[in-house]
Amino acid sequence: MIENIDEIRVQDFIMSLSSETDDDIIKLKQYAIENDVPIIRDETKDFLKLILNIKKPNDILEIGTAIAYSSLVMHRNCKSAKIVTLEDFPRRVKEARENIEKYFDRDKIELIDKDASIYLKENKDSECFDLVFLDAAKGQYINWIDDIKRLMRKDAILIADNIFKDGEIIESKFLIKKRDRTIHKRMREFLKSITDDKELNTYIFNIGDGISVSIKK
């Protein structure tokens, strides 16, 4: 048995075996890199593709569109699904609309230019999504969870990205800069909430910047 295995080298090796074949996804990733747009990491993308292929959702809610990179990953790997995606930053909304025009089957995606807090409160429906991908303001996750659960069907999956916040979440709050302590506290509350929630089965994965996967019972 190999002791003290280098996790970074292992991750690099794993990613060397994974290659993206969709030219449009490659182009959009390159645009994000060149324009300093935060997008999901490659290992997160592969994990998301795995979940999509297992779950085969019909209705997806994405909170945090940015330039629609993760939307495109979901669209290309689950073509039958309808995606509702939320974004309220004007520049990103503009870029996302342009990319949707260019890369998507238009009847399969709806971009809503609205703050997620407003959308979740205004949407009085229940049990209408099979998969929710949460990748937005980390300090708001705890405030959204009850409404997200209401919108999830039985056996629906909630995936929350960047839950480790570049490793800060595992640190003591006293080691965190004061301006970041509120987010640190709220993310820890979110993780405690979903792991203790009797309506959910939740699993935490050390993938990318941390992923939580919650299945509604």
Each domain of the chain, given as residue ranges in start order, spans 21-216
Average pLDDT over residues 32-38: 95
Average pLDDT over residues 58-73: 98
Residues 6+ apart with CB under 8 A from 161: 40, 44, 133, 134, 135, 208, 209, 210, 211
Digit-coded pLDDT (tens) for 148-158: 999 999 999 99
Q: Which fold has domain 21-216?
A: Rossmann fold (3.40.50)
Helix boundaries (H) for 35-130: 42-55, 69-77, 90-103, 116-122
Half-sphere exposure of 35 (CA within 13 A, CB side): 13
For residues 48 and 43, give the distance between their C-alpha atoms in angstroms, rounded to a whole number: 9
- CA nearest to 140, candidates 201, 194, 189, 91: 189
Supply the pTM of this predicted model: 0.90
Query: Residue type at 143?
Result: N
Digit-coded pLDDT (tens) for 79-95: 999 999 999 999 999 99
Quote the percentage of the chain above a pLDDT of 70. 89
pLDDT for the residue numbered 15: 75
3-state helix, strand, coil in the chain (%, to 5): 50, 20, 30
Is residue 3 predicted with pLDDT exceeding 60? no
Min mean pLDDT across 130-144, 156-170, 181-195 is at: 156-170
pLDDT for the residue numbered 1: 41
Is residue 167 predicted with pLDDT exceeding 60? no
Q: In sequence order, what are the beta bridge partners of 129?
A: 152
For residues 74 and 48, give the distance between their C-alpha atoms in angstroms, rounded to a whole number: 8
Q: Are strands 152-161 and 129-134 parallel, antiparallel or unpaired?
A: parallel
- CA nearest to 133, candidates 28, 48, 32: 48
Is residue 169 predicted with pLDDT exceeding 70? no
Digit-coded pLDDT (tens) for 87-120: 999 999 999 999 999 999 989 999 999 999 999 9
